[in-house]
A and B are shown apart, each in its own frame.
Chain A
Amino acid sequence: MRDQLEGSQAVARAVARCRPEVVSAYPISPQTHIVEALSDMVRTGELAPCEYLLVESEFAAMSAAIGASAAGARAYTATASQGLLYMAEALYNASGLGLPIVMTLANRAIGAPINIWNDHSDSMSQRDSGWIQLYAESNQVAVDLHIQAFKLAEALSLPVMVCMDGFVLTHAVEPLEIPTQEQIDAFLPAYEPRQVLDPDDPVTIGAMVGPEAFTEVRYLAHAKQMQALDLVPELAAEFATSFGRPSGGLLRRYRTEGAKTILVALGSVLGTIEDVVDELRDEGLSIGAVGLKCFRPYPLEEVRAALARAERVVVLEKAFAVGAGGIVGQNVRLALSGLPPRVHDVVAGLGGRPITKASLRGLFLDAAADRLDRGLTFLDLDRELVERELRRAGDLDRPGPHAESILRQIGVVAAGPV
C-alpha cells in the first residue's frame, strides 16, 4: 500500500525491515532524518534486536560498522559530504576487508566554499574506494535499492553505497510503497558472514600484506566487484518478480530507440530529463536518455551497447574533476572508445543549483544542433559574473577570496539575500 511519506522516513523504515543489527551514525545534513528515524525505532523497540551507536564522528561511524560487520552483525550507516570524506580511510578498510556494510549517502556538495546543498561531489570522490555504488533516481527506487543492497553486499561480501540526492529526494514527500516485513524477509535471508571474528574459532582479519601478495589481493577485490555486473541485474529481476515493480539494475534506457542524441545522467535529475525528452520527442527531435544506476562497478559493455548507435552523447553530471573535466564523461568515453558518437561533458546542479526543464531544453536543442562545445560545458554559468570577478581580482595585489567577493557582487550574504 502506498503512503504519502518523506524520502528519508521511507528509507529508514525500509532499512529497519532489512533487520540491521548495528546502526552506527553521526548526524549530518541532509542525511540526519534517516538516522534520527532509525534511532527512534531502536529506542521504541520497533527495530529489535538492534544496537544504535551515536558515535563521535563519521570516522567512528564507519569504524564501528567495520567492527560490527566483522563480528557477524548486519551493519548500516549513513552520511553525506564532508562526513564521507572524514570516513574515507575507513571506507577503504571496509571494502578491502570485504565487509558487507550498507550505507546511505545523501549526496551533498563538498566545501570549500561550504555548501549544504545537493550535488555528487561526495560520492564521486570515493568512486574508487572499492565500494559498490548504486544511484537512486527517485525515492521509490531509493527504498527498493536499500533492500537489494543488503542482499548484494552479503552475496559478494562487499560494502554497498546507496546514493540518493540530498534534499531533492531525502526531504521530498511523495507517494511511496514500503514493502512489508514478510515480503522483505522472503527476499533477504538472514546474514551469513563469509568471515567472522569468533572467540571459539579465532581468525585474523586485516593481515599486513607485503609486495609478495598485495597485487593478488587487490586483483581479487577487483574481480569480486566485477561480479556485481552479473549479480545486480539478477537481483533487479528477482526484485521485480517478488515485489511487482522494476527497480535497480545497471542502467535504464528511456526512449533511446533510434535516438541520434542520448543524454546520460545519474540520480534524481533523470525524472526531469525524461519530461523534457517527452516534450522534444513530441516536437520530432530524435532524443533519448540513459540513467546510470550502478556506477561502481562500471557497466562498460552495457553503456557501450546503449550508446553505440547515437550520433552524440551528452553526459550531464553533478560533479567534475577540477583540472580535467567530466568524471562520468570520461567513463562514457572509455565505453565508446573507437566508436562514432561524440561525447559532450556538461556539469550541472552544483551545490544545489536547480536544474530546470527550461535549461535542459536549451541544452538538448543546442546539443542536437551541434552547437555544444567539445570541451566542458557548465550549465547556466553566469559568465558575466565570473569575468567581472576576474577583472576585479586581476588589478589587485591582494584580491582576497573569490567566494566572499562574488557574494557581495550579487547582493547575497551567506545563504540569504541582504
Chain B
Amino acid sequence: MRPRRLAIDDVGMFEIRIHGRGGQGVVTAAELLSVAAFAEGKDALAFPTFGSERTGAPVTAFCRIAERPIRSREPIVEPDALIVQDTTLLHQVDLFGGVGPEAYVLINTGRGLDELGLDEFAASRFRPERVVTVAATELAREHLGRPLPNAALLGGFAALTGVVSVEAVANAIRGRFSAKIAEGNVAAALAAAEAVREGRTVRA
C-alpha cells in the first residue's frame, strides 16, 4: 500500500484540476472533493469554468484544498493533481498545461497509457508512480449501472494522493445523493481506490 502522505505543499495548498465533458459530473466531482476535505478540517474551494452548459462540451472544474483560509479565486493554472474524466479530450484541450513534474495525474481509461499514445510522454514528464489510470467508467457501469466516472475517480484520487481519505469521499457522496444512487457511487469509488492501492492499474 502506498504510504499516506499529506500532499499539501509548503504554502499549505493543494490544487486539483478536473477535465471532462458536460454530463459526466465534472463540477459535482470538484464539489464533492471540497466537501470531503472540509469534513476533514481543511479549507476547500470548488469552482467550475463556466460555459453555455451543453452536454458533451469540454468542462473544467477546480478544487483548492488548504490548511489555511483560501482567498485567491484565480483559476488553477499549475495544478498539483490532474483528473482526466474523458480521454477523448486529449487532442481537443490542453489538458497538461501548467502541470508540473511532481503532479499526480489520474486518467479514466480501461486501456493502457501506451494504447493512448501517452506512455513516453508521461514517463518523460512526470514521476511514473504518480501517473495512474483507472477504468472508472467501467467501474461505474458495474456498480452504479450508469457510465458516470466521477465518483470512482474521486476514490482513485484519494488512494493515489492521500489528500482526502476514501472514507471522506464516500461520506461526501452519501451526503449528496439519494441512498440507492449514493451506494452505487460509493461502491465504484471504493473499487477504484482498491484498484489504485493494489496497483492493478496501468502505470507509466
Smallest CB separation, B77 vs chain A (Å): 6
A417 touches B71 (CB 8 A): no
- Answer whether residue A268 sits at the interface, using C-beta atoms and an 8 A cutoff: yes
Max chain A CB contacts within 10 Å: which of B30, B31, B74? B74
Determine the distance from Cα of A6 to Cα of B176 in the docked complex, in whole angstroms.
13
Determine the distance from Cα of A85 to Cα of B106 in the docked complex, in whole angstroms.
45
A167 touches B50 (CB 8 A): yes
Q: Specify the chain A residue showing the minimal Cβ separation from B35.
A: A4
- A residues in contact with B50, CB < 8 Å: 30, 116-117, 167, 171, 352
- Answer whether residue B126 sits at the interface, using C-beta atoms and an 8 A cutoff: no
Determine the distance from Cα of A188 to Cα of B82 in the docked complex, in whole angstroms.
46
Max chain A CB contacts within 10 Å: which of B31, B34, B47? B47
- Answer whether residue A272 sits at the interface, using C-beta atoms and an 8 A cutoff: yes
Determine the distance from Cα of A167 to Cα of B62 in the docked complex, in whole angstroms.
13
Smallest CB separation, B120 vs chain A (Å): 25
- Answer whether residue B5 sits at the interface, using C-beta atoms and an 8 A cutoff: no
- B residues in contact with A175, CB < 8 Å: 38, 43-44
Smallest CB separation, A255 vs chain B (Å): 13
B44 touches A174 (CB 8 A): yes
| In the complex, per-residue mask of A168-184: 1 if CB is within 8 Å of any chain B CB, else 0 | 10011111000000000
| In the complex, per-residue mask of B61-94: 1 if CB is within 8 Å of any chain A CB, else 0 | 0000000001111110100000000000000110
- Answer whether residue B45 sits at the interface, using C-beta atoms and an 8 A cutoff: yes
A417 touches B38 (CB 8 A): no
- B residues in contact with A173, CB < 8 Å: 30-31, 34-35, 44-47
- Answer whether residue A257 sits at the interface, using C-beta atoms and an 8 A cutoff: no
- Answer whether residue A399 sits at the interface, using C-beta atoms and an 8 A cutoff: no
Known: A4-B34, A116-B52, A417-B58. A357 touches B74 (CB 8 A): yes
A174 touches B45 (CB 8 A): yes
Known: A173-B34, A417-B58, A417-B93. A356 touches B74 (CB 8 A): yes
- A residues in contact with B57, CB < 8 Å: 416
Known: A167-B50, A416-B51. A174 touches B93 (CB 8 A): no
- Answer whether residue A340 sits at the interface, using C-beta atoms and an 8 A cutoff: no
Determine the distance from Cα of A173 to Cα of B30 in the docked complex, in whole angstroms.
9
- Answer whether residue B48 sits at the interface, using C-beta atoms and an 8 A cutoff: yes
A415 touches B52 (CB 8 A): yes
Determine the distance from Cα of A173 to Cα of B63 in the docked complex, in whole angstroms.
9
- B residues in contact with A6, CB < 8 Å: 31
23 cross-chain CB contacts under 8 A:
A4-B34, A4-B38, A4-B39, A4-B44, A116-B50, A171-B47, A171-B50, A172-B73, A173-B34, A173-B44, A173-B45, A174-B43, A174-B44, A175-B38, A269-B73, A271-B72, A271-B73, A272-B73, A275-B71, A356-B75, A414-B52, A416-B51, A417-B93
What 6 pairs across the A-B complex have the smallest Cβ distances?
Answer: A271-B71, A4-B38, A173-B46, A172-B47, A272-B72, A4-B35
